[in-house]
């Protein structure tokens, strides 16, 4: 005999009951689509390491983004891919008014005024050494100088029309500096700050670094991105960024760090939590599906379900174009 207190099946026997078991359900509004904007204004170039993704020139953005907006896309995150020769030790080109990010921001805000445009804020795409900040002569990070420069860049993206700035550099104290910069520039009421709070030094960023040409020329990012085993540092970083004025908290990568997503939801219960399903996760799922491990669609949907169950409200994913179709 099965005892009364053993019975679970009755709660999900009918298919209509199954979604009731979810705390959060995937909607189009949860999706943010990362886009690589190249300085080659007319080009639309497939990225070999990232199936179905392209580097998009400013003059090709409308044809890429327009159909997605028509399907319900609500937000994008922009990454710049500048010309090699503009790179210097300080990342001077990051906020070049004629550079890809500022040009793309202006264009998207004029063509699609309702679309939320977030700009990733970092220096690694623009520095000759490929690190995310400024360096001392001994090649360690000059945190103070880095934070000053990152705040300048974030404010310039905001002035160009960005609705959200998202610093991914992992310097200490940059949220406060950026928030203060937004206040001083008179844009703090209309520009939000998405904190890459728990960003780990992951093996999963490789395809992105190919796409953005942003690999470090020497050393690695382990002295500023978080050590993958560190739950405590992640929790401290989340709490710190809440104190420093972040509007949204992000965990990155997503799938290997679902415990951290749950921690973020618990530590910042009053903030939206974002999970970034990064380039290596995207490529892995694609290649596994191509190798017959599973069907792409159910696997992608399950990966989303897992992230939402862990506690996030926003998913930043390269699968956004497919998901907009599947959710229609
Ligand atoms: C730049 C940045 C990276 C990613 C987002 N912003 C790469 C890195 O830190 O090396 C990774 C995103 C992805 O892999 O999809 N700091
Ligand atoms: Zn960086």
Residue by residue, DSSP assigns 294-319 as S-HHHHHHHHHHHHHHHT-SEEEETT
pLDDT at 130: 97
Confidence (pLDDT) at 277: 98
* Of 62, 156, 149, 75, the residue nearest 110 (C-alpha): 62
Distance CA 310, CA 254 (A): 10
Q: What pLDDT does residue 198 have? A: 98
User: What's the confidence (pLDDT) of residue 34?
Assistant: 98
Q: Is 281 in the pocket of ligand 1 (CB under 6 A)?
A: no
pLDDT score at 1: 80
Q: Which ligand is closest in space to the CA of residue 281?
A: 1
Structural domain spans, the chain? 25-326
Q: What pLDDT is recorded for position 282?
A: 98
Cα 150 to Cα 326: distance, rounded to the nearest angstrom: 37
Q: Could you give the CA distance from residue 24 to residue 305 in angstroms, rounded to a whole number? A: 8
pLDDT in tens, the chain (328 residues): 889 999 999 899 999 999 899 999 999 999 999 999 999 999 999 999 999 999 999 999 999 999 999 999 999 999 999 999 999 999 999 999 999 999 999 999 999 999 999 999 999 999 999 999 999 999 999 999 999 999 999 999 999 999 999 999 999 999 999 999 999 999 999 999 999 999 999 999 999 999 999 999 999 999 999 999 999 999 999 999 999 999 999 999 999 999 999 999 999 999 999 999 999 999 999 999 999 999 999 999 999 999 999 999 999 999 999 999 999 9
The CB of 103 under 6 Å from ligand 1? The reply is no
For β-strands 44-46 and 54-57, DSSP reports them as antiparallel
Q: What amino acid positions are annotated as catalytic residues?
A: 199, 252
Distance CA 22, CA 51 (A): 31
Of the candidates 27, 4, 1, the one whose C-alpha atom is nearest the C-alpha of residue 312 is 27
* 202 ligand 1 Cβ < 6 A: no
Please tell me if the CB atom of residue 309 comes closer than 6 angstroms to any atom of ligand 1.
no
Could you identify the atom of ligand 1 that is nearest to the CA of residue 207?
Answer: 14
> How many A from CA of 209 to the centre of ligand 1?
7
The superfamily CATH assigns to domain 25-326 is Aldolase class I (3.20.20.70)
Cis peptide leading into residue 253 (ω within 30°): yes
Q: Closest ligand to 77 CA? A: 1
Q: Which of the listed residues 33, 35, 168 should we mutate to test ligand 1's pocket, taking the one with most ligand atoms within 8 A of CB?
A: 168
Tell me the C-alpha distance between 317 and 53, whole Å: 11
């Amino acid at each position: 005999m099965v005892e009364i207190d053993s019975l679970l099946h009755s709660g999900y026997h009918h298919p209509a009951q199954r979604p009731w078991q979810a705390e959060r359900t995937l909607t189009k509004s949860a999706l943010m689509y990362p886009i690589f904007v190249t300085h080659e204004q007319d080009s639309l170039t497939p990225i070999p390491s990232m199936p179905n993704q392209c580097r998009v020139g400013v003059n090709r953005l409308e044809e890429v983004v327009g159909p997605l907006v028509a399907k319900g896309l609500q937000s994008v995150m922009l990454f710049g891919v500048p010309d090699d020769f503009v790179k210097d030790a300080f990342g001077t080109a990051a906020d070049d008014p004629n550079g890809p990010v500022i040009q793309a921001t202006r264009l998207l805000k004029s063509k699609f005024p309702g679309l939320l445009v977030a700009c990733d804020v970092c220096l690694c795409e623009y520095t000759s050494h490929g690190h995310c900040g400024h360096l001392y002569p001994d090649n360690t990070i000059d945190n103070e100088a880095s934070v000053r420069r990152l705040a300048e860049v974030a404010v310039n993206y905001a002035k160009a029309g960005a609705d959200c700035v998202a610093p991914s550099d992992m310097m200490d104290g940059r949220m406060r500096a950026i928030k203060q910069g937004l206040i001083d520039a008179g844009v703090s009421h209309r520009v939000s700050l998405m904190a890459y709070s728990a960003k780990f030094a992951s093996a999963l960023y490789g395809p992105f670094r190919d796409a953005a040409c942003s690999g470090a020329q020497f050393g690695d990012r382990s002295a500023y991105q978080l050590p993958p085993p560190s739950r405590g540092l992640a929790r401290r970083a989340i709490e710190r960024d809440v104190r420093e004025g972040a509007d949204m908290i992000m965990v990155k990568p997503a799938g290997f760090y679902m415990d951290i997503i749950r921690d973020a939801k618990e530590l910042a219960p009053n903030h939206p939590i974002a999970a970034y399903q990064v380039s290596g996760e995207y490529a892995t799922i694609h290649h596994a599906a191509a190798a017959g491990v599973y069907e792409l669609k159910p696997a992608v949907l399950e990966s989303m379900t897992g992230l939402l169950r862990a506690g996030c409200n926003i998913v930043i994913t390269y699968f956004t174009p497919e998901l907009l179709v599947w959710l229609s």
